[in-house]
Structure formats: C-alpha cells, structure tokens
C-alpha cells in the first residue's frame, strides 16, 4: 500500500529562521512592511500542529473581521494550502459552543479569533498563540493571552507575534527592552520573494521596495527602515490610541448622528459617520475610506450600510436587489444624520445630494482653529475623559490599493503621520503637511461644526 505524500516548500531566512528555532515564552517579529513576518509565524504554527497531535493553537488579531483579509489569506493560499486540498486540515465555521477553527486529522486545532470578541477564545487553553499586528493590542490583551498558554501538548508554550514598528515608548517596545519579550529585527533581505540570496532584488522586490522608498517622514522610517521612532512635529500630540481608540459598542438610538465627507478619487474619498452622546462627546463609528470610486458609488454604498428592506416585493429574480428596486420598501436601521457636512466642491456635492437624496452643509474649513478644536477634544475634560473617540473597526472596507502602497487606509492610520510642515522659511506649527490627511480634514470639519459655531442645517430632497 502506497502512502501519498504532500510536498510543501518554505525556506526561511534570517529572522524567519530565528523564529522557527525560538522557544522563548514571548517572541515578537518587528520590522518593515514586506519582510515575511506573518508568513514565518504561520508556517511555524502549522508545522507545530502537524508534528504534535492534539496541539491547540490560535491565530488572533484585535478584531476578528480584520483577519479575513490578512493572515487567513496567507494561511489558505501559501501556508496550509496543500493540507487543506488533501483534507488533512479542514475549516470549521464555529457554533454557539465553539469558535471558528482549522481542524487537523491528528486532533490538532488552530482557533481563529479576535480580542474584540474574546469571551469564547479566552475560555480555552492553548500551546501556541500567534498575534498578527500586535501593535493593535493593549498590554492587557497581550497578558490575557499569555494566561491561556497552558495546554501542555508540546515542550514549550509560546506567544509569538509580528508588528510594524511604532513609537519607541510603545508598551511592546518597552516590554522587549525590559527583557520580557524576545524581539527579532526583520529585514527585507529575510524575504526571498523580494531579495535573492546574492542580495539582488527580484523583479517583485524592485517594485515593492521602490514603493516603500517613496514614503516620507515617519512612515519611511518605520515601514522601510523598521525603526521604532516618533514623528517629529505631530499635530495631535494629545492622541493616545490606548485612550481614544475604543472597541465597538451598541450606540443608543437617541444619540445624534452626523456624516462628514472629504471628496477624492485618486486620493481617497472619506465619508465619516459620527455619533454624539448627550454630553457632546463624538464617536467615529463607521467610515468609508476608499480611492478610485465615483461619488455616486460611495453614496450608494453609504445607503446600503444604513438601510434595509422592510417590505420586499417578493421578486424571485436571481439578481434582485432590494436597494435598487422601486417596489421594495427600504427603511433606515439607525437615525438619519442631522447634517451631511461636506468639502466645498460644488459638482461633487450636487452629485452626492442627488444620490443620497439628502442636502449637504458646507464645512467650516479654517485650518488652525479647526486643529485647535480637535486638540482640545483629545485632551481629558473635567471628568477625566476626552471628548472624541474612534471605534477600532470603523472602516467598512480596506482599500487594497492604498494598503499595497503603504498609505493610510483609515482616519486612525493617518494620525501617527500627521505632522506640521517644518520646511525652512516657514513658521513652525503654521500649516500641517498636505499629504495623507483626508480623514484629518473630515475630522476637523466635524469638530468645527460642533465647536466653532457651525450652522446645523439639513435639506431633505
């Protein structure tokens, strides 16, 4: 009887090889974008599951939704592809009792989860956990995961993670500096897809690293050179993701809603949906942040997010779409915005109004006053809490072109690189750099509307 054998090819280099051999309780792969960090961690997790029957592992990120387009794509297409095709590994979508997971024929299990819905995943015990984009987690999240690493099916228990660098004072870097976590510095030379063994860039490497070389400022230092550095001249020094970036919660129906729009096509179009609580605090709870789509397409997308069909016409056509059907009755699933606050482009505003069937309000665009208003909201008020927050999973769709270009894909991602223009001959703190600031502009419009005497007006067409 002949036993079929599967062949899987992966040859780790540099830090990718180091993580394979590392047995430390905590190991963090830190480095620029595109160094193969995620692939290395996933390959190790898969190898451990194959080699150790009944091992329990977990792939985790801050939000479960963000895993589907990132780590799990790499897992399915590159790491576990042959095992999935052969039936050695099978996907289980989860149930009320169990989290989604990959099940191995030898009894091993790799659970998939997010720390935004941590109750079920934290009720189990694991041998190895892999955290993608660890920079998104809080230290409490990190330590909570370490308490679950006690399954005892392999000779060591480990939390491994990857991240792009952030500020040098970040808790991850401080944890490594104290010796609590082993930090592996990753380089582009570690990724054979980009750099051959003789040090020469591949065709793909020339294109990828060429794009990274075009980055400027702190994004170049972190994503190209892999340095833990702070941006000089940050506009919003008061912003602290540990305070202002919060998990999703059920927004009460009686909270006021606002929509804010910054138009763009080559640059991203931004539509932010804000909720205002009874004390006047603002919460960015939903965001469209996408390039190379028409205004009318964004308008239709926005309406799909807030409306549903209450009375369907009953059509059985395979291509039937209630949102475009004149015979279906659509109702809003949340309060309509008090105002749609817009950038001043007359043509785009007219198009947006027509397709939303709503009027718009011209934004207050005073830059310095608007920035100062946002800065004031980031500061703690008299009760110790700030007056502006961003929900962690606000973006409804990640723009792959922006992501590939290593540009921000959300308002939250813009904040760390939004700096004052400090070119020679200019007064310091006079104007911010006009690049990757589209969410910043929209946030400023929102704050100006509430704090600089904006006029609340809305016209239903």
**Average of pLDDT values for 211-236?**
88
What local confidence, expressed as pLDDT, does residue 242 receive? 80
User: pLDDT per residue over 417-445, tens digit each?
Assistant: 899 987 766 666 678 999 999 999 999 99
Judged by phi (left if over 0) then psi (alpha if -120 to 50, else beta), residue 94 lies in left
List the domain boundaries for the chain.
Answer: 14-213, 241-296+335-451
Q: How far apart are CA 422 and CA 415, in angstroms?
A: 17
Q: How far apart are CA 353 and CA 296, in angstroms?
A: 9
Q: What are phi and psi of 160, to 5 degrees?
A: -115, 150
**Average of pLDDT values for 224-230?**
89
What local confidence, expressed as pLDDT, does residue 459 receive? 43
Contact 194, 32 (CB under 8 A): no
Is 241-296+335-451 CATH 3.30.420.280?
yes
Q: What are phi and psi of 14, to 5 degrees?
A: 50, -125
**Average of pLDDT values for 363-369?**
93
CATH homologous superfamily, domain 14-213? P-loop containing nucleotide triphosphate hydrolases (3.40.50.300)
Query: Average pLDDT of the chain?
Result: 91
Q: Which of 115-119, 320-324, 353-357, 426-430 has the lowest mean pLDDT?
A: 426-430
What local confidence, expressed as pLDDT, does residue 456 receive? 47
Model confidence, pTM: 0.73
What local confidence, expressed as pLDDT, does residue 425 receive? 64
**Residue 231 clears pLDDT 90, i.e. is over it:** no
**Average of pLDDT values for 50-67?**
92
Whole-angstrom CA distances from 335 to 116, 251, 275, 296, 300 are 25, 11, 10, 22, 17
């Amino acid at each position: 009887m002949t036993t079929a054998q599967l062949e899987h090819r992966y040859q780790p280099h540099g830090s990718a090889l180091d993580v394979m051999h590392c047995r430390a309780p905590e190991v963090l792969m830190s480095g620029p974008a595109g160094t193969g960090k995620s692939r290395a961690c996933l390959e190790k997790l898969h190898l451990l599951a194959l080699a150790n029957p009944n091992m329990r592992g977990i792939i985790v990120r801050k939000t479960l939704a963000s895993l589907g387009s990132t780590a799990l794509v790499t897992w399915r297409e590159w790491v576990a592809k042959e095992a999935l095709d052969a039936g050695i590994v099978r996907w289980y979508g989860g149930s009320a009792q169990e989290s989604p997971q990959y099940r191995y024929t030898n009894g091993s299990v790799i659970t998939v989860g997010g720390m935004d819905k941590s109750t079920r995943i934290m009720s189990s015990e694991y041998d190895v956990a892999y955290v993608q984009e660890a920079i998104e987690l809080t230290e409490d999240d990190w330590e909570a995961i370490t308490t679950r690493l006690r399954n005892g099916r392999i000779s060591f228990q480990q939390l491994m993670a990857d991240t792009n660098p952030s500020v040098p004072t970040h808790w991850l870097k401080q944890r490594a500096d104290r010796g609590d976590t082993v930090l592996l510095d990753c380089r582009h030379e570690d990724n054979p897809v980009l750099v051959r063994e003789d040090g020469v860039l591949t065709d793909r490497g020339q294109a990828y690293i060429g794009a990274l070389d075009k980055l400027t400022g702190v994004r170049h230092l972190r994503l190209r050179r892999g340095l833990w550095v702070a941006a000089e001249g940050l506009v919003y020094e008061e912003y602290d993701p540990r305070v202002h970036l919060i998990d999703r919660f059920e927004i009460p129906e009686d909270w006021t809603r606002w929509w804010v729009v910054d138009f763009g096509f080559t640059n991203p179009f931004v539509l932010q949906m804000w909720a205002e609580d009874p004390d006047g605090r603002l919460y960015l709870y939903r965001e469209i942040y996408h390039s190379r789509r028409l205004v009318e397409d964004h308008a239709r997308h926005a309406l799909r997010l807030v409306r549903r069909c209450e009375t369907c016409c009953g059509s059985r056509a395979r291509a039937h779409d209630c949102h475009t059907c004149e015979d279906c009755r659509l109702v809003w699933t949340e309060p309509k915005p008090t105002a749609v606050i817009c950038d001043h482009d007359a043509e785009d505003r007219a198009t947006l109004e027509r397709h939303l069937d709503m009027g718009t309000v011209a934004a207050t665009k005073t830059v310095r006053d608007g920035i100062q208003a946002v800065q004031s909201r980031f500061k703690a008020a008299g009760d110790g809490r700030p007056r502006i927050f961003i929900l962690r999973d606000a973006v409804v769709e990640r723009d792959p072109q922006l992501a590939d270009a290593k540009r921000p894909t959300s308002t939250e991602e813009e904040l760390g690189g939004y700096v004052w223009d400090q070119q020679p001959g200019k007064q310091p703190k006079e104007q911010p750099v006009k690049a990757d600031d589209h969410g910043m502009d929209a946030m400023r419009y929102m704050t100006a509307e509430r704090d600089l005497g904006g006029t609340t007006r809305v016209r239903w067409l």
